[in-house]
């Protein structure tokens, strides 16, 4: 049986490691070996090794879940395939920059911590989704009541959370006289470096104030903006990759759109790869780019996810075949998100058009249900912060209000046909309590608005916000998602 490790068996069109993998040095430890990391940051590193002789290698770490992913790459010499999904064809490359792969539940948390104490580790990067930071989305502060954080304060040397693992690794490095590393978030949060800084230092201060001071003085937390649409891997994805590889199975394979972007705050205490040689942008301030992507791309994605799912559309590309959804998504971006942004020198109308074109890619099959996950963590930066801007400026935010109302309909747990919705959210228990304790309509809106970790205290107190979301919710109840979107699209024409 042909295996991925036999490069000679790969079709000629497949890019494969031509560099000396044994010469790679494990300089980056990455927490969160999921599909996005494989299709994004790992590809940049592979390109640098392949084309520019970089020796920066990865130690991949999963803390919770993803046991099979780690087992799969271990079984094939830490190799995996990344496919690019264009509508007419797929391209592929075998990525070879992973030197080590660990799972806390399989190898033990102590093995993970020791890997982070390797003297060569210069960067610890993270893709654990918003909920993995154990923070309060409305403020970005550490959630001291989070069960994992409660555990890590009581048991600092056997941590469970991502912040806890980073704090303990830094504690051990300090004790051994090793230099600090930089901690780089690659998750979709505004000022993700600042959020990471807050939760890491906040947890360290709760455990040992002197350690918190040491971290403040020696660790940097660069912010990043990452962009590539990477749908969840399905059996069909793996079958397509198998065909691409000439009949070789790769259970760790991942596929994404051809487009990829990475904007990085150039603030590293122990060196970094020359990412700019692979097309990344190194800048002094990432925030304007983060806001642009979070509000225009991710915000419109959430808008389409909830309204698309409720309207019976399984994928984003299905939504784009409905002219009303396409028009409403573009109007959301251009009319309601773009005015809130601080980025300079970017044609935002052209950016919106490029996003719509990417959404139309029928090869992606990006599920609306997948994007709809963890809405309580995503709404603040994608929809609610822009609403705050509009409230302060006295401007309309009809599309944003409909997006929030659609989330409220979605987490109600029943779609427009009466079928149950499988809602996945870290605040699901609190959401269900609000839903169960309120009548449909305005009472449901007010109940969900009282979720302070999501909406804070200012938005529930805003009559304009409550009225706009209540009206949008009433439209969804009375006419359904497709009619609500059609009404918006006609009004924006």
What are the residue boundaries of the structural domains of the chain, listed by start? Answer: 7-283, 287-492
Give the CATH number of domain 7-283: 3.40.50.720
Distance CA 265, CA 346 (A): 18
Contacts for 379 with CB less than 8 Å, ≥ 6 apart: 137, 302, 404, 407, 454
Angle between helical axes of 463-479 and 385-393 (0-180°, round to 10):
120
pLDDT at 373: 97
User: For the purposes of burial, counting CB atoms within 10 Å of the CB of 492, is it exposed (0-12), middle (13-18) or buried (19 or more)?
Assistant: middle
Using CA atoms, how far apart are residues 101 and 98, in angstroms rounded to an integer? 7
- What is the number of residues in the chain? 493
- Sheet-wide strand order for 254-256: 90-95, 80-85, 254-256
Q: In CATH, what number does 287-492 get?
A: 1.10.1040.10
Q: What DSSP state is assigned to residue 276?
A: G
64 exposure class (CB count in 10 Å sphere: 0-12, 13-18, 19+): middle
Distance CA 472, CA 119 (A): 55
Q: How far apart are CA 333 and CA 336, in angstroms?
A: 6
What is the structure's pLDDT at 489? 86
Q: What is the pLDDT of residue 148?
A: 97
Separation between Cα atoms, residue 159 and residue 349, nearest integer Å: 46
pLDDT (tens place) for every residue of the chain, 493 residues total = 789 999 999 999 999 999 999 999 999 999 999 999 999 999 999 999 999 999 999 999 999 999 999 999 999 999 999 999 988 889 999 999 999 999 999 999 999 999 999 999 999 999 999 999 999 988 889 999 999 999 999 999 999 999 999 999 999 999 999 999 999 999 998 899 999 999 999 999 999 999 999 999 999 999 999 999 999 999 999 999 999 999 999 999 999 999 999 999 999 999 999 999 999 999 999 999 999 999 999 999 999 999 999 999 999 999 999 999 999 999 999 999 999 999 988 999 999 999 999 999 998 899 999 999 999 999 999 999 999 999 999 999 999 999 999 999 999 999 999 999 999 999 999 999 999 999 999 999 999 999 999 999 999 999 999 999 999 999 999 999 999 999 998 876 5
What pLDDT score was predicted for residue 443? 98
């Amino acid at each position: 049986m042909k295996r991925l490790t036999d490069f000679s068996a790969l079709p000629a069109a497949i890019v494969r490691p031509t560099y000396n993998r044994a010469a790679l040095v494990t300089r980056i430890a990455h927490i969160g070996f999921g599909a996005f990391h494989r299709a994004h940051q790992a590809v940049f590193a592979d390109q640098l090794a392949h084309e520019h002789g970089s020796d920066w290698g990865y130690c991949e770490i999963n803390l919770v879940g993803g046991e099979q992913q780690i087992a799969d790459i271990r079984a094939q010499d830490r190799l995996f395939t990344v496919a690019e999904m264009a509508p007419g064809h797929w391209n592929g490359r075998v990525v070879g920059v992973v030197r080590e792969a660990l799972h806390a539940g399989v190898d033990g948390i102590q093995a993970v911590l020791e890997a982070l104490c390797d003297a060569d580790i210069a960067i610890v990067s993270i893709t654990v989704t918003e909920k993995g930071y154990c923070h309060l989305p409305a403020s970005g502060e550490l959630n001291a009541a989070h069960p994992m954080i409660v555990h890590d304060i009581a048991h600092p040397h056997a941590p469970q959370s991502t912040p806890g693992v980073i704090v303990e690794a830094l504690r051990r490095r300090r004790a051994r006289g090793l230099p600090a590393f930089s901690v780089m978030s690659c998750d979709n949060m505004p000022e993700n470096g600042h959020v990471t800084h807050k939760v890491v230092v906040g947890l360290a201060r709760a455990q040992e104030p002197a350690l918190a001071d040491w971290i403040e003085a020696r660790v940097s937390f660069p912010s990043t903006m990452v962009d590539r649409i990477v749908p969840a891997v399905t059996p069909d994805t793996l079958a397509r990759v198998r065909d691409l590889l000439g009949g070789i199975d790769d259970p760790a394979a991942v596929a994404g759109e051809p487009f990829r972007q990475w904007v990085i705050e150039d603030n590293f205490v122990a060196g970094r790869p020359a990412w700019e040689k692979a097309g990344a942008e190194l800048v002094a301030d990432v925030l304007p780019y983060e806001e642009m992507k979070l509000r225009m791309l991710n915000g419109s994605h959430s808008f389409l996810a909830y309204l698309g799912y409720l309207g019976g559309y399984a994928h984003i590309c299905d939504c784009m075949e409905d002219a009303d959804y396409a028009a409403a998504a573009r109007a959301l971006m251009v009319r309601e998100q773009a005015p809130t942004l601080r980025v300079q020198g970017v044609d935002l109308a052209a950016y919106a058009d490029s996003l719509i074109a990417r959404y139309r890619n029928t090869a992606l099959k990006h599920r609306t249900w997948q994007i709809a996950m963890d809405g309580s963590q995503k709404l603040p930066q994608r929809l609610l912060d822009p609403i705050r801007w509009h409230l302060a400026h006295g401007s309309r935010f009809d599309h944003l209000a409909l997006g929030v109302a659609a989330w409220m309909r979605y987490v109600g747990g029943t779609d427009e046909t009466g079928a149950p919705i499988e809602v996945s959210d870290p605040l699901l228990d609190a959401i269900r309590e609000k839903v169960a304790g309120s009548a449909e309509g305005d009472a449901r809106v007010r109940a969900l608005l009282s979720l302070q970790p999501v909406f804070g205290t200012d938005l529930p107190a805003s009559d304009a916000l409550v009225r706009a979301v209540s009206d949008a919710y009433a439209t969804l109840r009375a006419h359904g998602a497709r009619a609500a979107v059609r009404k918006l699209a006609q009004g924006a024409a």
